[in-house]
A and B are shown apart, each in its own frame.
Chain A
Amino acid sequence: MDIRRVAVLGAGRLGRGIAENAASKGYDVVLFSHGAGGQDALRKIENSLDRKLARWAITEAEKRVILSRITFTLDLKELSNVDLLIDATIDHFYTKQELLRTADQLCQPNVVFITTSSTLKVSDLARSITRSESLVGLHFIPPVPEVPVAELTRGHKTADSAVAVVKNFAERLGKEVIEINESVGLVNPRALLALINEAAYMLDEGVGDAEAVESIIKESWGMSQGPFEMADRLGLDLVLSWMEQMHKAYGDRFAPCPLLRRYVREKRLGVKTNLGFFRYNTEAKQED
């Protein structure tokens, strides 16, 4: 099946990134969200493109073309005319299960489903839908348009033909697709959470202040963002929720750092509240 029109469920950072990436590679994208702030998704994608324009990565004309390919809707009925579905909603099993069931009823039978979940297994999610052979796990890493790798997993029933469709799509988005076995946290999120948690412990124990810990890790490993900035951009509530799922799966080595819990309790959630490990302005830029 020739893929032209792609549905992205979830207009959070991951969903918006996938939408922007797919539209910039020529796909028509329908972005769905029921969550608060979903209506802002297009504006946020435009802001992201403006940042690229300011860095000469795209032209004004390219920005307009990319934006013209993305539409936002609250109406799931539009799923009846898409060629591929990508679930990029938050990792909450019952919410995801319900959404996938609805999509299963609305999409054409030959449409392949992708879930970006990193903490829920494809095999478990596939049980809730009739097209269990057509569900593939593909974990994109934010910022999606810039990160050139994606982790692919298949469930017990996933068909080779569905994997081929997903690989082809991801490669057209410019991703190197690396297939791994199903596991909670996959590779990147698991390693990242361990790093964020350990950095939070260093801060909590007074090894150094946030800038010092961040700079040493960032500079020595040549990262564009250190663990604190990555956590702030993901949202500390989301990070804590993942940590708790990892804790459940792997035991005390993933016990969330108390500092992380305290920040979340204080609604110090990162970029979205302008304060996390660092302080941010309204344009999500880090303040000194």
Chain B
Amino acid sequence: MKIFVLNCGSSSVKYKLYDMEGETVLAEGRVERVGQENGVITHQSTGKEKISKTMPILEHTVAISETLKLLTDKEHGCIDSLDAIDAVGHRVVHGGESFSQAVLINEETKEILDSLAELAPLHNPANVMGIRAAEKLMPQTPQVAVFDTAFHSTMPPHAYLYAIPFNLYQKHKVRRYGFHGTSHQYVTQRAAEMMGRDIKDLRIVSCHLGNGASIAAVSGGQSVDTSMGFTPLEGLMMGTRSGDIDPGAIFYLMKTYDLSLHEVDSLLNKHSGLYGIAGASDMRDIEKGISEDDKLSKLAFDMYEYRIRKYIGAYIAAMGGIDAIVFTAGIGENTPALRSRICENLSYLGIKLDDELNQKRGQDLEISTSDSAVKVFVIPTNEEVMIARDTAAIVGKK
């Protein structure tokens, strides 16, 4: 079975074509600057030359159409015709309360997806545009939506509710949803495999540390709590997002500077986090700053590490113990100094890190020592394969 995985952002499209026998990647690529005259497509079929071309890509339909042409191209492609694709799996950021698992897309699901745009205005409309474009180009091929929020649908009410008037939850579904679910699910399942144990018996804290960052408590293979909430703004300190902040401080700033909703939204989402403290949102720049003895870079790093450690502690309490910690995504996979600091500060739990293994990159690794009481892993995330698996499962059931 061949599954085409699409991740459509507002101005980009990422894709992978999987052969589900052995879960091998047949082709992958990305389209950038969708909506512009100088769009860029980068494509590579496995075992063939990587190609890149610039052309006007004024909408998602064009981006996906060009991608499909490349997949069937004699020189650069990997399939003879689009009929070889059994299903398309779409990443959809917000499934709200309506979708606790992946679904086959039909008119009804599209209507619900449209209505969810309010909850994720930056992401869901682009995801839906991708779905409509793919349907237009491959009308006979089943389309499946896989949600970032779905994995966290197992959170209990005492974890997902905010302590605000209950009717606001009933009327407007204001609650914590959590994000990066596909990633948290993938890395925790992989950690269980690497430990050779049934995930049902494990309590794992998964740290997805990218430009956006979240942490999840996964007990028995189910998410019981996670740091992002109603939107991806809650929780950890991020590249440009504040994470947790007392709402009272927001009211104070709004009053002091006479800020509009848009201004305060932008302040917290785009001007805060690592960038707000040290003027750089990229952890590599923060590390460079530290090496040059820049005090604010050091402070930003300390704050970033402390917030993660605090959440790990909270989730150990939430799960009544811990068997493993997993680090993934850009910062989680590529910042040994951060992992080392976190684990050092948690050494009272009996965590022991293998310093040599901690320096390695680019592969699934257990980086704790054999006698560590809590196992520590670095696992490069693979959301696409999870989307492909969910899609294959849904289409297989049909």
Q: Is there a chain B Cβ closer than 8 Å to A92's Cβ?
A: no
Chain B proximity of A28: nearest CB distance (Å): 9
Q: Which residues of B contact A59 (CB under 8 A)?
A: 240, 266, 270-271
Contact B266 A57 (CB under 8 A): yes
A57 and B267 CA atoms in complex are apart in Å by 7
A132 and B282 CA atoms in complex are apart in Å by 54
Known: A2-B58, A4-B58, A26-B35. A55 touches B263 (CB 8 A): yes
Known: A2-B58, A4-B58. A55 touches B257 (CB 8 A): yes
A71 and B88 CA atoms in complex are apart in Å by 41
Contact B266 A58 (CB under 8 A): yes
A72 and B260 CA atoms in complex are apart in Å by 30
Q: Which residues of A contact B267 (CB under 8 A)?
A: 56
Contact A57 B263 (CB under 8 A): yes
Q: Which residues of A contact B257 (CB under 8 A)?
A: 55
Q: Which residues of B contact A4 (CB under 8 A)?
A: 58
Q: Which residues of A contact B266 (CB under 8 A)?
A: 56-59
- A interface SS class: loop
Chain A proximity of B211: nearest CB distance (Å): 13
Question: A58 — nearest CB in chain B belongs to which residue?
Answer: B266
Question: B11 — nearest CB in chain A belongs to which residue?
Answer: A26
By a beta-carbon cutoff of 8 Å, the part of chain A in contact with chain B is: 2, 4, 26, 55-59, 146
Contacting A at CB under 8 A, from B66-117, are: none
Chain A proximity of B57: nearest CB distance (Å): 12
A146 and B259 CA atoms in complex are apart in Å by 12
Q: Which residues of A contact B262 (CB under 8 A)?
A: 57
Contact A56 B263 (CB under 8 A): yes
Contact B58 A55 (CB under 8 A): no
Question: B37 — nearest CB in chain A belongs to which residue?
Answer: A4
Question: A2 — nearest CB in chain B belongs to which residue?
Answer: B58
Contact B58 A56 (CB under 8 A): no
Can you list 17 A-B pairs with a CB-CB distance of less than 8 A? A26-B35, A55-B257, A55-B259, A55-B263, A56-B263, A56-B266, A56-B267, A56-B270, A56-B271, A57-B260, A57-B262, A57-B266, A59-B240, A59-B266, A59-B270, A59-B271, A146-B260
Known: A4-B58, A57-B262, A146-B260; 20 extra A-B contacts, CB below 8 A, are: A2-B58, A26-B35, A55-B257, A55-B259, A55-B263, A56-B259, A56-B263, A56-B264, A56-B266, A56-B267, A56-B270, A56-B271, A57-B260, A57-B263, A57-B266, A58-B266, A59-B240, A59-B266, A59-B270, A59-B271
A84 and B85 CA atoms in complex are apart in Å by 41
Chain B proximity of A148: nearest CB distance (Å): 10
Chain B proximity of A67: nearest CB distance (Å): 16
A146 and B263 CA atoms in complex are apart in Å by 11
A273 and B132 CA atoms in complex are apart in Å by 54
A8 and B279 CA atoms in complex are apart in Å by 36
Chain B proximity of A65: nearest CB distance (Å): 11
Binary CB contact string for chain B from 252 to 280 against chain A (1 if under 8 A, 0 otherwise): 00000101101110110011000000000
Q: Which residues of B contact A2 (CB under 8 A)?
A: 58
Chain A proximity of B122: nearest CB distance (Å): 14
Q: Which residues of B contact A26 (CB under 8 A)?
A: 35
A59 and B257 CA atoms in complex are apart in Å by 17
Chain A proximity of B274: nearest CB distance (Å): 14
A146 and B258 CA atoms in complex are apart in Å by 14
A1 and B257 CA atoms in complex are apart in Å by 42
Q: Which residues of A contact B270 (CB under 8 A)?
A: 56, 58-59
Q: Which residues of B contact A58 (CB under 8 A)?
A: 266, 270
A26 and B37 CA atoms in complex are apart in Å by 12
A137 and B300 CA atoms in complex are apart in Å by 52
A56 and B260 CA atoms in complex are apart in Å by 10
Chain A proximity of B320: nearest CB distance (Å): 41
